[in-house]
Amino acid sequence: MLEKGKRTIPGLLEKAAVIYRDLPYLSYKRDEGWKSYSYSQTKENAFFIAAALRSYGIKKEDRIAIISEGSPMWVMAEHGIICCGAISVPLSVKLLPEEIPYRFNHSEVKAVFTSKNHLEKIISIDSQIENKEMLIIYLDEDYDHFEKQLIANDIATSRGRSYWKLLEEGKNILEKDPEYLQEILSGIVEDDVVNICYTSGTTGNPKGIMLTHVNYYCNAKDGTSVFKLKKGFRTLIILPIDHSFAHTVAIYGALFSALDLYFIDARGGIVNALKNIPINLLEVKPDFILTVPALSGNFISKMKDGVAAKGKFINALFQSGLKAANHIFGNGFDSTAWYKKVIYFIPYKIASLLIFKKLKDVFGGNIDYMVGGGALLDIAQQQFYYAIGCPVFQGYGLTEAAPIISANTPFHHKLGTSGRIMPSIECKIMKDDGSEAAKGEKGEIVIRGENIMKGYFRNEEDTRGCIRGGWLWTGDLGYLDDDDFLVVTGRNKALLISEDGEKYSPEEIEEAIVNSSDFISQAMIYNDHKKFTSAVVTLDHLKLKKLKDHAPEEAFKVIKEDLHKFKNHAAYKGKFPLKWTPSSLYIAHEQFSEENKMINSTLKMVRHKITSHYKREIEMMYESGGSKKVEAINLKAIERVLKK
């Protein structure tokens, strides 16, 4: 551990390079196989990059963006940026071209690291960037291609740089003057900003969250300590590396525990990367994985489809095994009655031996667990993974908190909760009247600790709005149960409001609908001072083909029943008040996606976009005689799908 006052990322990197010297840190796939960089090689390359950047005139607190798929070069670029005292601005590869200029101009980036997969995007918005001398640093090795693209688009080649050339230049500088970086490194302090992480900007311009060395240090230390991560624990990085969850647990957590990080093979772009996930899992055989509900939910869907394809007998064993496991393990915290263990032992054991082990092998065969974050993880997902022997330990956090606030771990967990608060964080639940809630009472989650952001970049008003007296007001709702587990119920801004003014968080019901239904793939429920709750849903067109022999009216009846299927699911039975369960639905004509901006880069629904886009249809559901009109529209939508 580093002593207080010297808890910086370069300090951590230097220490790791000594302690874990030749152990692998960063690996990526090449034609000849997997190539790894050790901790000492990473530190050395980071210093080379830092020296080269400094020779280009990059000064302390200058901002440098990174927009590329995850790779060792991505990580070494960020370490290099930080080691020369500059600030990294990691950006999502899912950003549309029109979303990038604001972030570049607001942070006044001096340079951007990018790869072949995203070069076209950077070139296309170059004329909109205010800094006309911004350097473009190319991470791939085919520099000729990069240079030709610059020339073809009238961008001065003098603004182009090769990442690999940077390494050579920096090495030459440090060989001539080994002390070249020492003044910069010694001047880096705990409160200096490491990253400016931009929010998705779903309401207005995105905010730049300033995270410091001590923010990341304390949060990464907390995370690795509560999970008791073993030296050399291996993971495949599936999540976008720009997100603070991956930053903290993977990039910086590795420096505490000698984690062995492998990156998805993204050669050829995002589509190829998605195809490579199952292949890379089998190659890497990770010990744990970082995931988000959308990703783990997709795994579940594919596994269930795979089991169903084996026939009714195998599927019956599978379903019986899942049910038995839920009875045996319960919530993973409270003790289970002995008789339940006896009654359900045989069906669980049969399913475990014949089916669950094979499902777990999808993740490589060595996996101990997954760590979930990014959004609420539905309890049905948690129960499924717990049953097959590959639990997802749900956590909770937000980027403003660097990001981990609480987490379930292999040692202390309770399904249906977001775990216990991190050791260095104080948490309280505040009610609307300004008083602190008692155990079990809902309110806004408010935290204090060294993990809290420095503030929003060039946005003092919003900073003052969420950080008050040293406490971060998260905007999330929840409560602490009697066992000190945090239960997150939803976003303050996403609340449903009934006709009588009562409020309710919709996320849990939405997750319940999607995880229980056969045909509904997405659901947004709505109530804005109305007599009843409605829903806008999207359908799984491939699964809907199962109803091809049904008339549209019959298919619609099945879908309406599907909408309420969760009510009979063991995990949700009696959980949700009737007034908040949707009694009317509209079938959207397209999936909510990043392309239509109804899903953000962290795969969460952008509620106001969906509500705005389907405003007329939502209003129609509440009009006199509107249900008939909406039903007619829904029948036509179903008919179109069934005829394809």
CATH number at residue 592: 3.30.300.30
Q: Is residue 433 part of a domain?
A: no
Q: What is the pLDDT of residues 207-231, one digit of tens each?
A: 999 999 999 999 999 999 999 999 9
Give me the pLDDT at residue 28, please: 97
Could you tell me if 78 and 170 lie in one domain? yes
Could you tell me if 71 and 168 lie in one domain? yes
- Round the average pLDDT of the chain to a whole number and report it: 92
Q: In which residue ranges of the chain is pLDDT below 70?
A: 201-204, 500-501, 601-602
Give me the pLDDT at residue 106, please: 97
Give me the pLDDT at residue 204, please: 64
Give me the pLDDT at residue 574, please: 81
Say if residue 403 is preceded by a cis peptide, omega within 30 of 0: yes
Q: Is residue 408 part of a domain?
A: no
Give me the pLDDT at residue 628, please: 85
CB count in 10 Å sphere of residue 548: 11
Per-residue tokens: 84: 């020369």
Q: Is residue 402 part of a domain?
A: no
Q: Is residue 460 part of a domain?
A: no
- Strands 455-456, 208-212: parallel, antiparallel or unpaired by DSSP? antiparallel
Angle between helices 507-516 and 293-308 (to 10 degrees): 20
Q: How many angstroms separate the CA atoms of 41 and 165, rounded? A: 16
Q: Domain of 321? A: 293-366+382-389
Residue recorded with tokens 């008040």: 577
Q: Is residue 475 part of a domain?
A: no
Angle between helices 9-19 and 39-55 (to 10 degrees): 140
Q: Is residue 449 part of a domain?
A: no
3-state secondary structure of 360: helix
- Number of domains the chain contains: 3
Q: Is residue 344 part of a domain?
A: yes
Could you tell me if 69 and 192 lie in one domain? yes
Q: How far is CA 155 from CA 95, 126, 146, 147, in A?
A: 22, 8, 11, 9
Q: Is residue 524 part of a domain?
A: yes
Q: Whose CA is closest to 525, among 610, 435, 626, 441?
A: 610
CATH number, domain containing residue 115: 3.40.50.980
Q: What is the pLDDT of residues 305-361, one digit of tens each?
A: 999 999 999 999 999 999 999 999 999 999 999 999 999 999 999 999 999 999 999
Could you tell me if 45 and 182 lie in one domain? yes
Q: How far is CA 499 from CA 214, 503, 505, 527, 578, in A?
A: 46, 10, 15, 8, 14
561 residue type, one letter: E
- Residue ending a domain, among 166, 185, 212, is 212
Residue recorded with tokens 């997997």: 34
Residue 273 CB-density burial (10 A; 0-12 exposed, 13-18 middle, 19+ buried):
buried
Q: How far is CA 391 from CA 291, 305, 396, 413, in A?
A: 12, 20, 16, 10
Could you tell me if 145 and 15 lie in one domain? yes
Per-residue tokens: 372: 């979930």
Q: How far is CA 84 from CA 45, 130, 187, 227, in A?
A: 12, 24, 10, 32
- Residue ending a domain, among 192, 212, 232, is 212
Give me the pLDDT at residue 489, please: 83
Per-residue b or e along 223-261, where b marks 16 or more CB atoms closer than 10 Å to that residue's CB = bbbbbebeeebbbbbbbbbbbbbbbbbbbbbbbbbbbbb
Could you tell me if 326 and 207 lie in one domain? no
Contact (CB, 8 A) for 56 and 86: no
Q: How many angstroms separate the CA atoms of 522 and 591, rounded? A: 8
Q: What is the pLDDT of residues 475-487, one digit of tens each?
A: 888 999 999 999 9
Give me the pLDDT at residue 201, please: 60
Give me the pLDDT at residue 438, please: 96
Q: How many angstroms separate the CA atoms of 78 and 195, rounded? A: 9
- Residue ending a domain, among 181, 212, 243, is 212
Q: How far is CA 133 from CA 8, 81, 127, 130, 520, in A?
A: 30, 18, 11, 9, 49
Could you tell me if 505 and 621 lie in one domain? yes
Could you tell me if 206 and 318 lie in one domain? no
